[in-house]
Amino acid sequence: MNRIASIALLLLFAAFLFAPYLVNPGLVFIAGFAMIEIVFALSWNLLFSYAGLVSFGHAAFFGIGAYVAAATLRYGYDIHFILVLLICAVLGAVGAFLVALIVLRRASGIQFSVLTLALSQLVVVLIGYSDYFGHDEGISAIPRPVMNFGLFTVDLNRPLANYYFVLFVCLVAVGLMWLLVKGHLGRAMQAVRIDSERAEFIGIDAWRIRVFAFTISGAFAAVAGALLAPWGQIVTPEYVNWLHSAQPIFATLLGGAGFFWGPVVGIVGLSALNYFTRTFTGLSEVLVGASLIAVVLVAPQGILGTLRQLAKRRKGPVKGGHA
C-alpha cells in the first residue's frame, strides 16, 4: 500500500486511540460504535475480498453475538465477559458453518446472496416471537459488566475503561483477521476468489475454503455484535435487519474493495457523514445516498483505490503494489 494511505490509517488509529481525551463524550460514543462496525465490516470483507462471497445477511451473525451477550448481561448470568465474547465467537462460527454447509452446496452468486438475506430475515422474524429476546423492542437497559482478572479488575461502568476495552477487543479482532488474511490460508482464499477453477487444479478444494472463510467471518461478526451489548446498552432487531447487513457492503465499496483496510476508511466516512447530518431529518439519508452514488460514478475503486491510482500516476510506470 502506498504512503498516503498508510499515513492516513495511522492518523485514524491515533484518533481512535486518543479520542476520549480529544473530543466530547457524544463523539466518543460514536467512535465506539464505529470501532464495532469496523470489526463487523472487516469480517464481511474477509468474505468479499478474500473468498469472493457476497453475503446479504451478515447481520444475522452480528445479531447472534449481540443478543447472546445482551441476554447474559441483562439476565444476570455470572459469566466472565471475556468468556461471553468467546462463546459468542463460537456460536457465530457454528451458525455460519451450518449456513455455509447448506447454502454453499447448492447456490452461488446471486442465489447465495439472496439465501443469506432470507436466512437473516428469518432470524429477525424468530427474534420477534421470543419473549426472552424482547420481541420487536429488543433488550434494553443492559448493565455493563465488571471483569475480574485476578491481578486487577476492569469495570466497564467507568467510561474510559469501557472505551479502551472495546478498542482493545477490536484491535485483537482486527489483528487476527489481518494475520489470517496475509497468511497462507488467506492466499488460498484469494486464489479461490480470483479463479476457483484454477485453484481446484492445483489441489485447493474451493468449497472447503469458502466454508472455512464463511465460518471465520461469522465468528468475527458475532464478536462485533457481542461488543455492542455493553457499549450501546440496547440491542434491537434493527441490528439484525438487512439494512444493517448492507452497512459493511457500503463501507467496503466506499473504502475500496480488494483492500484489507477498505472497510475501516468506509466506516469512518459513513459515521462522519451520519454525524454531521444527524440533526436534519431526511437530509442525512439524502446525503449518504448521494455520496454513495457519487463514489460509484467518480471513484469506483473506492477511496483507497483512488489514492493508489493517484500515487501510481505520480510515480509513473506501474510498480507492483500490494493490496
Q: Rule CB under 8 A: which of 73-102 touch other proteins?
A: 102
Among 258, 262, 263, 269, binds other proteins (CB under 8 A): 258
d(CA 36, CA 210): 24
For the chain, helix (H) and strand (E) counts, in that order, are 13, 2
Smallest distance from the beta carbon of 182 to other proteins, in angstroms?
4
Is the CA virtual torsion 129, 132, 133, 136 positive or negative? positive
Smallest distance from the beta carbon of 89 to other proteins, in angstroms?
16
Smallest distance from the beta carbon of 258 to other proteins, in angstroms?
7
Residues 6 or more apart in contact with residue 231 via CB below 8 angstroms? 32, 33, 36, 162, 166
Angle at CA of residue 20, ends 19 and 24, nearest 5°: 95
Smallest distance from the beta carbon of 143 to other proteins, in angstroms?
31
Smallest distance from the beta carbon of 265 to other proteins, in angstroms?
15
Q: From residue 235, how far is each of 118, 227, 314 by CA, in Å?
A: 21, 11, 47
Which one, of 144, 136, 178, lies nearest residue 43 by Cα?
178
151 is an interface residue for other proteins by CB under 8 A: no
Site for other proteins in 203-232 (CB under 8 A): 203-206
Q: Choose between 110 and 272: whose C-beta lies nearer to other proteins.
A: 110
The three cell numbers locating residue 78: 455470572
Which one, of 197, 192, 187, lies nearest residue 209 by Cα?
192
Smallest distance from the beta carbon of 292 to other proteins, in angstroms?
3
d(CA 297, CA 300): 6
At 305, which helix (H) or strand (E)? helix 302-315
Q: Choose between 111 and 148: whose C-beta lies nearer to other proteins.
A: 111
Q: Choose between 96 and 249: whose C-beta lies nearer to other proteins.
A: 249
Smallest distance from the beta carbon of 202 to other proteins, in angstroms?
5
Among 22, 158, 183, 310, binds other proteins (CB under 8 A): 183
Q: Which stretch binds other proteins (CB under 8 A): 2-10, 75-83, 154-162, 194-202?
A: 194-202
190 is an interface residue for other proteins by CB under 8 A: yes
Smallest distance from the beta carbon of 140 to other proteins, in angstroms?
21
Site for other proteins in 101-140 (CB under 8 A): 102-103, 106-107, 110-111, 114-115, 117-119, 121-122, 125-126, 128-129
Among 246, 275, 311, 312, binds other proteins (CB under 8 A): 246
Q: Choose between 88 and 191: whose C-beta lies nearer to other proteins.
A: 191
Among 178, 233, 238, 275, binds other proteins (CB under 8 A): 178
Q: Choose between 151 and 319: whose C-beta lies nearer to other proteins.
A: 319
- What's CA 210's distance to the chain center, in Å? 18
Q: Choose between 72 and 217: whose C-beta lies nearer to other proteins.
A: 217
The three cell numbers locating residue 301: 475503486
* Cell 484518533 sits on residue: 15
1 is an interface residue for other proteins by CB under 8 A: no
Q: From residue 307, how far is each of 132, 236, 270, 295, 310 by CA, in Å?
A: 48, 37, 18, 13, 5
Site for other proteins in 264-293 (CB under 8 A): 281-293
d(CA 260, CA 174): 10
d(CA 310, CA 313): 5
Q: Choose between 10 and 286: whose C-beta lies nearer to other proteins.
A: 286
